[in-house]
Structure 1
Amino acid sequence: MPNHTNIYNHEAEQYHLLISKQPNLAPIIEEIKAFNGLDIVDVGAGTGRLTTVLAPHAKSIIALDASDAMLQVTAAKLEKAGLANWTTKVADHRKLPLEDQSADLIVAGWTICYLASTNVQNWRQNLQEVMAEMKRVLRPNGTIIIFETMGTGTETPDPPAFLKEYYSSLVRQYGFSHKWIRTDYEFDSVHQAEELTRFFFGEEIVNQVLEQNRICVPECAGIWWLHR
């Protein structure tokens, strides 16, 4: 499996090309929380998968991530769009550089998992600290929406074993509602599918691409949401 930390710090543009092959998630977020005119925080914003589609409709949006390289890509895209209602900040999910009750909507896409998987020491404490920070920043009547993987290369949910306890905790301990959706990758060619899946997922998915001559790689995502 490729080193994701290295990718996020040194190959942000290639990563953004990969996720650009997935569907726009704004309609999914809109179903859970109407976001027009809200103050929004994107925790683990990365290269702006969620920030860039929410920003045109937000009152304000703050993109937070541990990787400055990723945030530079986000900032460039927001600048290119001519938007001025945004800020980026390097931050740890467990200590958000934000004021109490300053956000109406907090989104976190494919990011808390890096602190809350069972192969990470003190994962339960990490998750507790992340949840406490999100709730501190959230206003009354605000909403938290979390996206995480439910499996790549599979047409029905098949999450990694090391994430199952985290997912269960979101529902049982923290009171989140939950559903899953498909977030398939639609590549331009088999060659591109091979190149980008090898870059991020490794040989198992590449073998599927080559054996089945795929330009569409199925993926499932889980969505958890909590209304305050």
Structure 2
Amino acid sequence: MTTEKQQCKHLIPLFKCLIPSFNSSFIFREREMVNVRRANFKSFWDKYSDKPDTNSMMLNHSAEELEASDRADILASLPQLHNKDVVDIGAGIGRFTTVLAETARWVLSTDFIDSFIKKNQQRNAHLGNINYRVGDAVGLQMDSNSVDLVFTNWLMMYLSDEETVEFIFNCMRWLRESGIVHLRESCSEPSTGRSKAKSMHDTANANPTHYRFSSLYINLLRAIRYRDVDNKLWRFNVQWSCSVPTYIKRSNNWRQVHWLAEKVAAEDGAKETSFNELVELLKSTWQQGQEAWDAKLDDEKYVWSEKIFSSAIASLPSNSTFFLYTPRTISPFCHINAHSLAETFNANVWNTEIVPEYYRTSLTKSNNLKDQRVRFGWNENLASSVKYWQQKEALFDVFIATEFLSTSDDNTIRQVPQITSSGAKFFTLEPVDEVNEGAMKERLQKLGFTLESFTDVTDQAVAAQEQYFKDHEHLSNEKVIRKNWVLLEMSATN
């Protein structure tokens, strides 16, 4: 076993992993494959090296129309950088380097195209706190615990699965405790969507880009457990995932996705993850899992809960802002139709998903329906979503959920009114063991809510599920959740 680990260290520096013994010819072939792959990517970008401008950076003939707005979206999502050290990887001509350096203590700006870095240096010559480096992100060498922010914008889609895992391990190693990594990728399709007119990709040659599912990146960030040289185990706390607003507004594209994750101590009892394990999950397991859920959810005609909520929310005013919470822990089919609400009430709707695979299917539905009033975000739990909107000082007029009370702790439930306006309406569809209005009223009072309406909707919920599965023939083997169901309308007491 020790020999295997030693061999692995020669192949993949800095990572502990268990792999079979390799003979020298296999190692040589592997290295040759990596060299060929990186050469292909280098060749891909060399085609644009004589045009170090915004269009080339974004591979979009219309980039100038949206660059400033896109850049503002990304920068607004970052934490405060005063007295922080930053590495901008794949920086290109320095679209983000300039603003990062204006706030941060020090910035390392890197790219593997020499002409891009030269342009970067020219535009930022007035700033004295930037170092520049020409080189591939995969081979970037930095000290452990040396930066507070690893910033990337369109990088991992140019890396193989193995390189992507290696890069995430490196991010963990480079970051100090509580350090942040920002990632942004084109998921499932290019930033230009399906428009060939806007894209600068050379259609005559193969496009080496990996347009991975958004869920794969979330799963990778959440799965990694890294042990440092001091034998401390670390993980990423993925704070959020959401679409870049500019691409929704300008291109009807919800699949421009970015993430923010913080380096924190791993949970008690956690085990270190191996390089090979994560590669297999990224390359195969998670991919296949997402495809299976796509087959079930992508063609969803309607949501069965619509029949339960419809009469209760009929009197809500138009032009409101809706916050939806759909954990789907009891069933992947127990959620809320955000698009129907947007259409019915001319409402702006934010829907929080907590399962990465369901989040991805929601983005697919948004891309198909193209209703810009509807946005989806992923958070690990409701508390994380509430914190996200508190930081943005947002207030919603209506809160609608499934499993709100059954999946949230008391402290989180008490915090929800902090992101709603005065007089906001609260609705939730709850699976319960016992239909007990008195006990529910008492519990809600302790949590800062007044119970306005309590309705036993068990029969309607069961019937709605049965009809839903009949109308979706490919789901005929799915089970109806035959629990007691209650529909609650509430108001915040404070």
Structure 2 segments unaligned to the other structure (5+ residues): 1-42, 194-208, 223-237, 264-494
Using CA pairs under 8 Å that are at least 6 residues apart, name the structure with larger relative contact order, 1 or 2: 1
CA offsets per residue over residues 94-117 of structure 1, 9 Å max, x none? 2222211111011101122111xx
Cα separation, 1, equivalents of 2:248 and 2:118: 24
Asked if 1:164 is matched to 2:212, the reply is yes
Hey, what does 1:223 align to over in structure 2?
258
User: CA separation in 1, counterparts of 2:145 and 2:172?
Assistant: 8
Structure-1-length-normalised TM-score? 0.69
For residues 95 and 171 of structure 1, the distance between their equivalents in structure 2, rounded to whole angstroms, comes to 23
Mean CA deviation greater in 167-176 or 57-66: 167-176
Q: Check conservation: 1:105, 1:138, Cα contact below 8 A.
A: yes
Please give the alpha-carbon distance, in whole angstroms, between the structure 1 residues aligned to 2:156 and 2:83: 26
Decide whether the 8 Å contact of 1:143 with 1:226 is kept in 2.
Answer: yes
Number of residues paired by the alignment? 183
How far is the alpha carbon of 1:184 from its aligned partner? 4.5
Letter of the aligned partner of 1:168 in structure 2?
A: S
Over residues 95-147 of structure 1, what are the superposed CA-to-partner deviations in whole Å (9 max), with x where a residue is unaligned? 222211111011101122111xxxxxxx2211111111111111111000011
For 1:191, the equivalent position in structure 2 comes to none
Q: Is 1:88 equivalent to 2:88 in the alignment?
A: no
* Residue 56 of structure 2 corresponds to residue 15 of structure 1: yes
Distance 1:9 1:28, change over 3 A: closer
- SS of aligned partner of 1:101: coil
Larger radius of gyration: 2
TM-score, normalised to structure 2, is 0.34
Residues 113 and 85 (structure 1), Cα distance of their counterparts in 2 relative to 1, 3 Å cut: same
1:26-56 CA distances to partner (integer Å, 9 max, x unpaired)? 5643434112221010010011111112111
CA RMSD of aligned residues (A): 2.9
Check whether the contact 2:185–2:258 (CA below 8 A) recurs between aligned residues: yes
Answer yes or no: is the 8 Å Cα contact 1:183–1:218 preserved in 2. no
Of 148, 173, 178 in structure 1, the residue corresponding to residue 241 of structure 2 is 178
**Quick one: distance in 2 between partners of 1:47 and 1:219?**
25
One-letter code aligned to 1:15: S
Is residue 2:118 matched to residue 1:108?
no
Distance 1:37 1:69, change over 3 A: same
Equivalent in 138, 154, 162 of residue 175 of structure 2: 138
Q: Distance in 2 between matches of 1:142 and 1:128?
A: 18
Correspondence 1:14-163 to 2 at 5 A: 15=56, 19-21=63-65, 22=67, 23=69, 25-26=71-72, 28-79=74-125, 82-115=126-159, 123-150=160-187, 151-153=190-192, 162-163=210-211
Q: Secondary structure at the match of 1:97?
A: coil
Moved over 6 A (4+): none
The structural deviation recorded for 1:66 is: 1.0
One-letter amino acid of the counterpart of residue 163, structure 1: Y
Summarize the Cα distance change of 1:107–1:19 in structure 2 as closer, same or farther, 3 Å threshold.
farther
Is the Cα contact below 8 Å between 1:40 and 1:62 reproduced in 2?
Answer: yes
SS at match of 1:49: coil
Give, in whole Å, the separation in 2 of the partners of 1:64 and 1:131: 17
| Cα distance, 1:162 vs structure 2 | 4.4
Q: Distance in 1 between matches of 2:191 and 2:73?
A: 21
CA drift of 1:15 comes to: 2.3
Tell me the residue number matched to 2:404.
none
Structure 1 contact 26–53 (Cα < 8 Å) conserved: no
Listed one character per residue, the Cα deviations across residues 181-204 of structure 1 (whole Å, up to 9, x for unaligned) are 233499xxxxxxxxxxxxxxxxxx
Aligned to 1:204: none
CA distance in 2, matches of 1:50, 1:146: 13
Change beyond 3 A, Cα 1:34–1:164 = same
Aligned partner letter, 1:140: E
Over the matched positions of the two proteins, sequence identity in percent amounts to 22
Structure 1 residues without counterparts, runs of 5 or longer: 116-122, 155-160, 187-215
Letter in 1 for 2:117: L
Letter in 1 for 2:220: Q
